[in-house]
Amino acid sequence: MADNPVLVEVLRGEHVESRHRGAFVAMDGDGTTILSAGDLERPVFPRSAIKLIQALPLVESGAADHYELTDSELALSGASHSGEPGHVRTAAAMLSKAELTKNDLECGSHWPFDTGASRHLFCEGEEPNALHNNCSGKHAGFLCTCRQQGWPTGGYVGYDHPMQEAIRDAMTALTGAAHGPDNMAIDGCAIPTYAIALTAMAKGMAAMASGKGLGKERAAAANRLMSAAMAEPWHVAGSKRACTLMMQAGAGRLYIKTGAEGVYCGILPELGIGFALKCEDGTTRASEAMAAALVAKLLPDGDPLAQRLSAMARTPILTRKGDVVGEIRPTAALA
């Protein structure tokens, strides 16, 4: 296996303290590589970074129309949200439209990513439930699809359930990569995840952007989901989260989504470009810097959005008293 280059370095004073390696690729709708670095063929679990594609069956089936899902609800169906009260309410509303409850969710529960939300829950003597799971919107979308399609709602996370078959079919069609038992493992929210090449992920994102080769209905569904996420970026992640901040800065010019273990996928709709990246060690601080720097590099020189994202790619390191003593920054390979 080829070594991945160092894409992000952590400085303390004038010295490099830590290093993060990674790989990335950006492609257009014709499958032409625009920019890349590192080992692109090593299989990578996209995890939550391809939630937009996992939400296609919700729209294509007609379930999104049947339940009159709003942009916020569609955005949440492709979210890794922070478990803030607004996220929890939106997930509950989606389930309610399908006459289901949090007890139908099979994602398990965890404390909200948002520290404030967790602390408030704790102070009220409560425990988190499945609605607080960062994937509850995605699972609510699955359940809406199952209900509208007449599939069993129990066991919808299983490999052989029609819900997971539909996701697998969409992923295979958009990425061109095989999805089956050989490259499958189980994601944190209990559904299957499949290790594929970064090039396949970028190809899938470029297809979502351009609609090329998808057919009219799928292309429309892709566009609707992407537009909803860009219109409601807080519902895709949450307060102070990188995906939300980058899409807010993008103001309709950037779709971007992270996945666990340092993955990012995204779309520049104006340019018809899809991209994917993986930080080799799975660290969030590094994948965030890589994502912001990569988007800045893909945009035209002098674009104000590129300047904003270049600034977001650099994070000062502070002492506990607040003095700046270092920086997280992209290396020359990305800057």
> Which chain residues interact with its own copies by CB under 8 A?
3, 10, 12-15, 17-21, 43-45, 106-110, 118-119, 122-123, 133, 183-190, 193, 195, 261-262, 280-283, 286, 319-323, 325-326
Q: Using the minimum distance from each CB to its own copies, give the nearer residue, 216 or 321.
A: 321
Q: Using the minimum distance from each CB to its own copies, give the nearer residue, 133 or 244.
A: 133
Minimum CB–partner distance for residue 3 and its own copies (Å): 6
Minimum CB–partner distance for residue 188 and its own copies (Å): 5
Minimum CB–partner distance for residue 193 and its own copies (Å): 7
Minimum CB–partner distance for residue 59 and its own copies (Å): 26
- DSSP element (H, E) containing 18: strand 15-28
Q: Using the minimum distance from each CB to its own copies, give the nearer residue, 7 or 226.
A: 7
SS (H, E, C) 108-126: CCCCCCCHHHHHHHHHCCC
Task: Cite the beta strand spans of 169-246 per DSSP E.
Answer: 184-186, 192-194
Minimum CB–partner distance for residue 190 and its own copies (Å): 5
In whole angstroms, how far apart are CA 293 and each of 196, 233, 306, 307?
A: 23, 19, 8, 10
Q: Which residues pair with 330 in a beta bridge?
A: 8
Q: Are strands 263-268 and 6-12 parallel, antiparallel or unpaired?
A: unpaired
Q: Using the minimum distance from each CB to its own copies, give the nearer residue, 101 or 307.
A: 101
Tokens of 184: 């499958």
d(CA 70, CA 51): 17
Q: Using the minimum distance from each CB to its own copies, give the nearer residue, 109 or 223.
A: 109
